[in-house]
Amino acid sequence: MPATAQIAKILADHEIQIKYTLANLSDTHLRRGLFNFFGGGIKTEQLKIELNAILCGLIPSFQSIDNHTMSDINKIIEDQKRELEAKLALISGNNLAALMAERKGYEGKIAEIDAKIQHVCKELGIEVGLETATKKERRTRMSGQEIDAKILEALKNAPHGISQIEISKSTGVSYASVVNWLKENAAKVRSEGERKAKKWFLADFAQ
């Protein structure tokens, strides 16, 4: 689950991008170029390429200035501006800042509860998949290739077998990721025992 700060950044970046696009759709340079192209000036290939690049970059559905009139282009631009303005209204009209603050409050409470549960589980010597935010941030930085290499190394170093929890602890890979990796790489491993007593080994041919 993404953190509130991460969600807020995505929304803020999206809002900035919308405002940037709106500003560029109204830019005098674009307007002057369109006027020169359609208003009787010389329709140079360079100007056509520049206008196509600008419009394609600002309007996702736009393909080419060919076979369009000035009126057509103005309508396409205005339609795009209205669509973007509606998105800005959606952002401002739903008080997302307040929702983010509310979510952040719950996030802190959940983290506090998780820490208490984690403390009890540690005393019991069991793992239930809860992690601190710091551990999650560290683990999410691992690429699939890194996870693959770390788990394979842990299996190679455990000729007498190793449990899923032990793999997680020794590699820094989350318990859930370890479970998924073992399922997805069933051909590379074998197991002995049942449930909590289950040990995992690197398949003979993979060693």
Q: What is the mean pLDDT of residues 66-90?
A: 93
Over residues 97-108, the pLDDT tens digits come to 788 888 888 877
Give the per-residue pLDDT at 92: 81
Give the per-residue pLDDT at 1: 58
Over residues 16-47, the pLDDT tens digits come to 889 999 999 998 889 989 998 888 777 788 98
The rounded percent of the chain whose pLDDT value lies above 70 is 90
Structure tokens belonging to residue 63: 């393909």
> Which domains are seen in the chain, by residue range?
4-93 (no CATH), 133-206 (1.10.10.10)
Give the per-residue pLDDT at 135: 52
Give the per-residue pLDDT at 136: 52
Over residues 170-185, the pLDDT tens digits come to 888 888 888 889 988 8
For the ranges 55-59, 119-123, 133-137, the maximum mean pLDDT occurs at 55-59
